[in-house]
Homo-oligomer: A and B are copies of this chain.
Amino acid sequence: MSKARLLLVEDDKVLAELLVWHFEREEYDVRWTTDGEEALMLAQEHVPDIVILDWMIEGISGLEVCRRLRRGAATANVPIIMLTARGEESDRVRGLETGADDYMTKPFSPRELIARIAAVLRRVRPALAGEVLRYADVEMDVVSHKVRRDGRAVPLGPTEYRLLRHFLEHPGRVFSRERLLDSVWPHDHDIELRTVDVHVRRLRKALNEGAKTDLIRTIRSAGYALDADGDY
């Protein structure tokens, strides 16, 4: 599993360097900027797994950055932890309501921030926390790379594995072929959209071995989703 990509937006250089040091010790792939606009650009060009965002930064405010990240389709679901010197309850509530996932008041301990980051990531990308992913009767052990359905081992190729993992990390959510190519395939070369269909088919075939119900729902002209709900 690749490292989790973290974007830090903080204009206090001393604090930022301290945090970067801690983050790197935790094996995060860190990117750091002091500027709101630049943060948005960076997030656009390579979507991070989590954003640590100071409220008071150069250029546009942290709150505004948060709002804009939420508006962008690609970044709408990236978790955000806000940092701030403002300890007022109303500020905290406002931050959370704007779409932040968590909120820490300065001064805080890096260890606690690390712990909160881990808690948020565990929720958003369980695979990064080395847990077992489950959905309906499917289990994926991220550490041993084993997948079983209803207790029975399911043989998967590398791509099918990544595809299934992506679905398991976001059960129920619909993904367009584009988005799947973007998040499941290595970012380098251009691949035909329809290739996704083929891999979905292979995944289905492996997963449904033995007359099981299909867990992957096709949403016409929209994409695919993991879905055990038979009503559809």
A contact set with B: CB distance below 8 Å? 73, 76-77, 79, 89, 92-93, 96-97, 99-103, 109, 111-112, 115-116, 118-120, 122-124, 134, 143-146, 152-153, 155, 157-158, 172-174, 219-222, 225, 227, 229, 231-232
Contacts and interface: CB of A to CB of B under 8 A. Distances in A.
Given A101-B122, A144-B173, A144-B225, 7 more contacts: A76-B134, A93-B111, A96-B116, A96-B118, A102-B116, A144-B172, A144-B227
B79 A97 contact: no
Q: How many copies does the complex hold?
A: 2
B221 A123 contact: no
List the 7 closest pairs (A to B, CB-CB), nearest first.
A153-B231, A96-B115, A158-B221, A93-B115, A144-B172, A96-B119, A145-B174
A119 B109 CA distance: 22
A143 B137 CA distance: 22
A143 B232 contact: no
